[in-house]
Amino acid sequence: MQALLALENLTKTYRSGATDLTVLAGVSLSVGAGETCAIVGPSGSGKTTLLGLSAGLDVPTSGTVRLAGHDLGSLDEDARARVRNQHVGFVFQNFQLLPTLTALENVLVPVELRGESGRRGDAVDLLGRVGLADRLDHYPVQLSGGEQQRVALARAFVNRPQLLFADEPTGNLDGDTAGHIVDMLFELNRTAGTALVLVTHDLDLAARCGQIARLRNGRRVE
Amino acid sequence: MNPIAAVLEPWTWRMAWRDSRRSRPRLLLFSLSITLGIAALVALGSMGRTLRSTIDEQSKALLGADLVLSSRQAAGPDETNLLQRLGGERASEISFASMVSFPGRDATRLANVRALTGGFPFYGRIETEPPSASEEFRRGEGVLVEESMAQQFELKPGDPVKLGTWTTRLAGTLRRVPGDSVAFASLAPRVYIAGSKLPDTGLLRRGAIVRYRTMLKLPDVPPVGDIVRDNKEEFRRLRLDFDTAEKRREDLGKALEDLNAFLNLVAFVALLLGAVGIASAIQVHVQQRLGHVAVLRCLGASMASTFSIYLVQALALGAVGSLAGVILGSAVQFALPVVFRGLLPFPIHVEFSFVVAARAAAAGIGISLVFALLPLLAVRRVSPLVAIRAAYESAAAGIDWARVAVFASIAATVFGFALLQTRRWQQGAGFAAGLGIAFLLLAAAARALVWAARRFTPARLPFAWRQGLASLHRPQNRTGTLIVSLGLGTFLLLTLQFTRSTLLNRLFPPGNDRQPNAILFDVQPDQLDGVVALLKGLGYPVLDEAPIVTMRIRTLKDRPVKDLATNRAARIPGWVLQREYRSTWRTNLVDSEKLVAGRLVPRVEAGAARIPVTLEQGIARDLGVGVGDRLSFDVQGLALECEVSGIREVDWRQVRPNFFVVFPAGALEAAPAMHVVATRVADAKSSSRLQRELVKSFPNVSALDLTLVLETVGNLVSKVGFAIRFMALFTVMTGVVVLVGAIVTGRWQRSRESILLRTLGASRAQVRAILFVEYASLGFLAALTGLVLAAGGGWALAHFVFKSGFQIPWLDAVVALLAVPALTVAVGLSTSRGIANAPPLEILRQEA
Ligand SMILES: Nc1ncnc2c1ncn2[C@@H]1O[C@H](COP(=O)(O)OP(=O)(O)O)[C@@H](O)[C@H]1O
Ligand SMILES: [Mg+2]
């Protein structure tokens, strides 16, 4: 069976002025449906860059990215956006809720982007599952960091993605709250079969994943 | 999906609405920046329509007849034949200058007497008070007197009036006569009498300057234009001037259209300024939303649909601003007839016009859209990566054609509108090019400031100064936006102000308050000392005094005038050859004239063979003579051989005794002369007192009273000035709204920083000092660049459009240089006061 996410020999070089800075050099990685994978490494080692390339947020200098059967290199930006909307969910370190939208509206954005309607019930349900049933109409500023991240989690799952990308999802949260979020992530992995790709500093969290990719200076060392 | 399809998606509108949630009051403020411009367009547009239709309706009443022929001599057999041939209904008027006295008031004044026979006006009517007076005077039961003169002497119907040897009574006062413009009627107050009573006055002696007018009412076919065309040669041969209602309509229409076009451009300037305001607001708004755009893109939104969210917001902004403008403009338009009253020969009645409103609203939405597209384009370039990592400013590769297209459509819009208003290619192109140059120069000035701030901020400066100057060049600075919008505002406003003063100076030269306003004619040489003493006794100055010798031309370039007058090939207007020249002698030029060719010979020996004289430019052109040409004059039967030694340019707008022909001293002293004396009296009342005194001691002296004329002209100046200022007010207020908008929207960029500084221990005073330095330098540079641009623009307008000289009104310039930075700093500091007072935590959370 084909892997859900297959990265082959990814290289990313940034040109700044006259010098080239190679941020990723020949990284390969494969994540199957329902699997979990942690990307770890020191700060500046290229984790975020790798995640961005995997999700089609940027294009590699060389190498290929296959995501849910699509070769991202052959798609234009809008087509990649469609792939993201259909197959991928995101959780960010700094939550990235839209501040002008309520919790419920934030969760509904991916649904609306698909042009679907009548999914309000699902969204309310999801927010209930992350423990925010009574905060539907609150704006992000009215929520704590942990609550915001739970809304982000609900938003990431509302389209029932096959794959969820999370860049240091607990980096801005305290231990207890972080643990709660992580539990939810794995719970969704189990119940919905969503594959997880997590960037993290937290070794305990990494240890719970089926696969660990270690990066150093843009190279995969393990 | 393309942006147009995306705009039609309901989701786009829903997102646009939600996305605006926390910015709505602010967005509303920006939308107001085009409101005033739209309001001005709506008001002027409705008035323009009303004017056009009123002029069409009243065009015949503008003249009171279909065709008016006027002449300096009584009709001969040829003219009688011509009139017979033209047919239609006829009326006639004989007019001349004469003193009229009011025995009951012991007052005398020079008036323009008009003896009317027949049913003129055929269209419209002579408006009098009481209305019945217009019929009474026709029956010979009394006269009509100019309303202003009746007021001056406090005359009432029934009061005695003496005209030459005819004593009658005042039938009523004259308000309006078709064909005469209100503004200049008081140059010589009119007195209407019945034609049948003219012999009773005994005033029509030989030699008096008389104008004969024949007014005709003609059948609809053939058109008057054809009649005029077919008879033009005949009119010229008989020395008949003609006037038609159609020509009046065109002249008036053209003058009003010009004024209307100018005011419309002023309104458009306000609208443009507002559009710049919208653009700078969208710029800030979009910058603030780039993070959201990135997140939406991560979640799978296409470029087109995220772009459309903000496009829809810009569209809504334009629509709301335009709607408010239409409402405001519809209210203001009812004030305009009051503003323009007295400038028009008829009252106007403004009505709301849906077409005008719709057109203005479309202009508002369209122009705010093209301007907003410029900053909106940034949305297309947002990478979804921004959501997971702070943005890196990556230089876009190659030419962004969309950007080029937006610039082109802005240029096309500006050019198109200017063309629509002025209907002249060069002016439309000049307007658009001027704005383009202004835009580029301002952008260049902003770049220079950024560069200079980065390079030359001395390390010795106090902390606040270094921080403030650094804000000018740090990433996400507002230097470009603010300099362009503030500078463009200053430029447009100052240009308007400069143009206004150029325009008004051209129409009405300054210094009217020191000019004579009463001129005494026909003072005999032996009366001169007495008249001067009388003036001195009453406390009035002698501003000018000149001897006058009357003469006629005998020969021109050695050919007798009689030959020339009948010789059509000579192409010299008859009146120029046959008129009576009232000449003087002087040894020098006066203030109101300057020598443009040849020289002025101050004096000649008695008995010189040829007397060197100077001619006024216009009359020299009419006579077809230049320096060195010969001519001779007939002074009471005596021939004076002369030669043109110089040509003078005379500023006729100055109320001075000015002369067509000026002799040197030593040539005319022996001829019988009359004197003219110019003085200045305080007001119309003192003028009538002077006239009473004069009539007592020197009955032959006539006085031309200019107090009322000058008052009328002064009124006209202030009316035109007021109309322009009224419209300019819209631009000024727009400028203020734009300034406030630009600063309020940019606030968030500075507020985080200010809070951070406060967290780090900066005092509020320090934070304020930093902001002060930034705003003051922005305001000052913007004002300075705007001033330089306005000086260039003002000069170009004066030079190419008004064809007049240009002087920078330094007072305005200095005011702008001080006011713009002061206003910028004041608005800037007051909008950040909220930040200083709120708990930093609150704001850090909100602005995150
Ligand atoms: N646009 C860019 N231009 C130049 N260098 C970049 C750019 N984006 C990221 N980098 C560099 O790439 C390296 C890896 O960044 P990142 O993937 O964010 O690391 P991590 O997430 O592991 O901390 C860093 O050294 C960063 O400075
Ligand atoms: Mg990272």
Inspect the interface and report whether the beta carbons of A109 and B305 lie closer than 8 Å: no
B790-799 per-position pLDDT tens digit: 888 888 877 7
Nearest CA to ligand 1 atom 16: A46
Q: At what angle do helices B354-380 and B245-298 cross, to 10 degrees?
A: 30
Cα torsion at B629, B635, B637, B643 (round to 10°)?
-10
Order across the sheet with A88-91: list the strands.
A88-91, A163-167, A195-199, A36-40, A211-216, A219-220
The Cα B299–Cα A57 span in angstroms is 10
Which residues of chain A lie closer than 8 angstroms to B389, CB-CB?
A: 48, 52
* Under 8 Å between Cβ of B635 and B549: yes
Q: Is the CB of B388 under 6 A from ligand 1?
A: no
Distance from CA of A105 to the nearest CA of B (A): 9
Is B8 in CB contact (< 8 Å) with chain A? no
Is residue B209's pLDDT more than 80?
A: no
Rounded CA gap, A27 and A213, in Å?
A: 10
Whether complex ipTM tops 0.90: no
* Cα separation, B767 vs B747, whole angstroms: 13
What number is the average pLDDT over the span B416-432?
78
Chain B closest-CA separation from residue A140 CA (Å): 9
Q: What is the pLDDT of residue A212?
A: 93
Type of residue at B21: R
pLDDT tens string B329-340: 888 887 777 766
pLDDT of residue B539: 84
Q: Does B387 touch chain A (CB under 8 A)?
A: yes
The minimum CA-CA distance between A131 and chain B, rounded to whole Å, is 23
- Six-digit token pair at A213? 């990719």
Residue of A nearest to B2 (CA): A78
Nearest to A100 among B18, B301, B845 (CB): B18
pLDDT of residue B183: 43
Written as six digits, the tokens of B179 are 């064909």
Among candidate residues B714, B56, B130, B135, the one with its CA nearest the CA of residue B346:
B56
pLDDT, mean of residues B573-588: 80
* B82-99 pLDDT per residue, tens: 888 888 899 999 988 788
Contact B792, B433 (CB under 8 A): no
Q: Does B568 touch chain A (CB under 8 A)?
A: no
- Which 299-318 residues of chain B touch chain A by CB within 8 A? 299-305
Q: What's the pLDDT tens digit per position in B730-777?
A: 777 777 777 777 677 666 666 666 666 665 656 677 778 888 888 898
If you average pLDDT over residues A105-127, what whole number do you get? 87
- A21 interfaces chain B, CB cutoff of 8 Å: no
Question: How far is Cα A86 from Cα A142, in angstroms, rounded to an integer?
Answer: 30
Average pLDDT of chain A is 88
- For B199-248, give the secondary structure using H, E and C: HHHCCCCCCCCEEEEEEEECCCCCCHHHHHHHHHHHHHHCCCEEEEHHHH
Which residues of B, range 14-33, sit inside 8 Å of A by Cβ?
A: 14-15, 18-23
Ranges B9-18, B396-405, B710-719: which has the least confidence: B710-719
Mean local confidence (pLDDT), A46-63: 88
Q: How many CB atoms lie within 10 A of CB B126?
A: 22
What does the pLDDT look like over B272-288, one tens digit per residue?
888 888 887 888 788 88
B391 CA → ligand 1 middle, Å: 11
CA–CA distance, B613 with B125 (Å, rounded to integer): 48
Other Cβ atoms within 10 Å of A183 Cβ, number: 11
| Residue B580: DSSP 8-state | P
CA distance A152 to A90: 8
Tell me how far apart the terminal alpha carbons of chain A are, to the nearest angstrom: 24
CB contact under 8 A, B385 and A85: no
Closest CA–CA distance from residue B291 to any residue of chain A (Å): 8
Backbone angles phi, psi at A195, to 5 degrees: -75, 145
pLDDT for the residue numbered A125: 92
A90 inside 8 A of chain B by CB: yes
Tell the residue nearest (CA) to atom 6 of ligand 1. Answer: A14
| Residues within 8 A of A (CB atoms), B 365-384 only | 383-384
Buried b / exposed e over B514-524, threshold 16 CB at 10 Å, is: ebbbbbbbebe
B387 → chain A, closest CA residue: A96
Structure confidence at residue A28 (pLDDT): 93
Predicted confidence at residue B844, as pLDDT, reads: 46
Q: Kindly indicate the confidence band of residue B655, based on its pLDDT and cuts at 50, 70 and 90.
A: low
Cβ-count burial B343-365 (b if 16+ within 10 Å, e if not):
bbbbebebeebeebbeebbebbb
Domain assignments of chain B as residue spans, ordered by start = 1-64+239-392, 89-217, 442-511+707-848, 542-679
A205 close to B (CB below 8 A): no
Q: Measured between alpha carbons, how far is A198 from A209 in angstroms, rounded to an integer?
A: 9
Q: In this predicted model, what pLDDT tens digit does every residue of B543-561 receive, in sequence order?
A: 888 888 888 889 988 888 8
- Atom nearest to A215 CA in ligand 1: 22
The first and second tokens of residue A120, run together, are: 């309000």
Exposure of B839 by Cβ count < 10 A (0-12 exposed, 13-18 middle, 19+ buried)? Answer: exposed
And the tokens for B456?
A: 């030359």
Contact B707, B17 (CB under 8 A): no
Helix (H, G, I), strand (E, B) or coil at B669: coil
pLDDT digits (tens, 9 = 90+) for B19-37: 888 788 888 887 888 888 8
Task: Say if residue B188's pLDDT is above 70.
Answer: no
How far off is chain A from B309, nearest CA to CA, in Å? 12
Could you tell me if B767 and B754 are in contact, meaning their C-beta atoms sit under 8 angstroms apart?
yes
Whether the CB of B391 is below 8 Å from some CB of chain A: the reply is no
Interhelix angle A145-157/A120-129, rounded to 10 degrees, is 140
Closest residue of chain A to B381, computed from CA coordinates? A77
Beta strands B190-194 and B107-117: pairing type? parallel
**B349 or B231: which leads in pLDDT:** B231
Which residues of chain B make contact with A115, given a CB cutoff of 8 A? 11
Looking at residue B342, its pLDDT comes to 62
Q: Evaluate the omega torsion of the peptide bond into residue B672 and state whether it is cis, within 30 degrees of 0.
A: no
**pLDDT in the model for residue B565:** 66
- Res. B395 pLDDT band, cuts 50 70 90: very low
- DSSP conformational letter for B474: S
Give, as one character, the DSSP assignment of residue B559. E
Give SS3 for B643.
Answer: strand
For atom 11 of ligand 1, the residue with the nearest CA is: A23
Q: Which amino acid type is present at position B558?
A: D
Mean pLDDT of chain B: 80
User: How far apart (Å, rounded) are the C-alpha atoms in residues B573 and B553?
Assistant: 13
Alpha-carbon span B467 to B480, nearest angstrom: 18
Rounded to the nearest 5°, which phi and psi values hold at B579?
-65, 165
Go through B673-705 and write b for each residue having 16 or more CB atoms within 10 A of its CB, e for each that does not: bbbbbbbbbeebebbbebbeebbeebeebbbbb
A68-72, B334-338, B572-576, B665-669: which is most confident: A68-72
Q: Does A167 touch chain B (CB under 8 A)?
A: yes
Q: Is A58 in the pocket of ligand 1 (CB under 6 A)?
A: no
Report yes or no: B644 and B626 within 8 Å, Cβ to Cβ: yes
Judged by CB atoms closer than 8 Å, whether chains meet at A58 and B385 is answered as yes
Q: Give the residue among B191, B187, B189, B190 at the shortest CA–CA distance from B706.
A: B187
Report residues near ion ligand 2: CB below 5 Å: A 48
Measure the CA–CA gap between A80 and B841, rounded to whole angstroms: 39
- The residue-averaged pLDDT of B801-811 equals 75
Please report where in the chains the tokens 């709505």 appear, as a residue. Answer: B24
Kind and range of the H or E run holding B534: helix B528-538
b (16+ CB within 10 A) / e for A86-125: bbbbbbbbbbbbbbbbbbbbbbbbbbbbeeeeebeebbbe
pTM for the full model? 0.67
Contact A127, A154 (CB under 8 A): yes
Q: Is the CB of A44 under 6 A from ligand 1?
A: yes
Q: Does B395 touch chain A (CB under 8 A)?
A: no
Measure CB to CB from residue B18 to each of A77, A101, A141 and give the nearest one. A101
Say which residue, B733 or B787, is predicted with more confidence: B787
Chain B contact for A86 (CB, 8 A cutoff): yes
In ligand 1, the atom with minimum distance to the C-alpha of B392 is: 1
Q: Does the CB of A51 have a partner CB in chain B at under 8 Å?
A: yes
Q: Which of A10, A11, A21, A92 to mutate to test the pocket of ligand 1 (most atoms within 8 A of CB)?
A: A21
Q: Following DSSP, what letter does each residue of B749-804 receive, concatenated?
A: HHHHHHHHHHHTT--HHHHHHHHHHHHHHHHHHHHHHHHHHHHHHHHHIIIIIS-S
Which 8-state DSSP code applies to residue B601? -
Name the phi and psi angles at B350, rounded to 5.
-90, 140
User: For atom 2 of ligand 1, which residue has the closest CA?
Assistant: A14
- Which domains does chain A possess? 5-221 (3.40.50.300)
- Per-residue HEC secondary structure of B430-469 comes to HHHHHHHHHHHHHHHHHHHHHHHHHHHCCCCCCHHHHHHH
Q: Tell how strand B166-176 and strand A195-199 pair up.
A: unpaired
B295 Cα to chain A: minimum distance (Å): 7
The pLDDT assigned to B392 comes to: 53
Q: Which two tokens stand for residue B207?
A: 């030699």
Looking at the DSSP bridge assignments, the partners of residue B100 are B109, B163
| Mean pLDDT calculated for residue range B477-487 | 79
Residue B168: which residues within 8 A CB-CB, separation 6 or more?
Answer: B141, B142, B143, B160, B161, B162, B193, B197
pLDDT at B186: 45
Could A81 and B21 be called an inter-chain contact, meaning their C-beta atoms sit closer than 8 Å?
no
DSSP state of A159: T
**SS3 assignment for A85-135:** HHHEEEECCCCCCCCCCCHHHHHHHHHHHCCCCCCHHHHHHHHHHCCCHHH
- CA atoms within 13 Å, Cβ hemisphere of B667: 30
SS3 for B391-416 is: CCCCCCCCCCHHHHHHHHHHHHHHHH
Q: What is the average per-residue pLDDT within A129-144?
A: 89
Mean pLDDT for B678-691 is 77
Q: If you measure from the C-alpha of residue A61 to the centroid of ligand 1, how many angstroms do you get, rounded to a whole number?
A: 14
Whether residue A202 has pLDDT greater than 70: yes
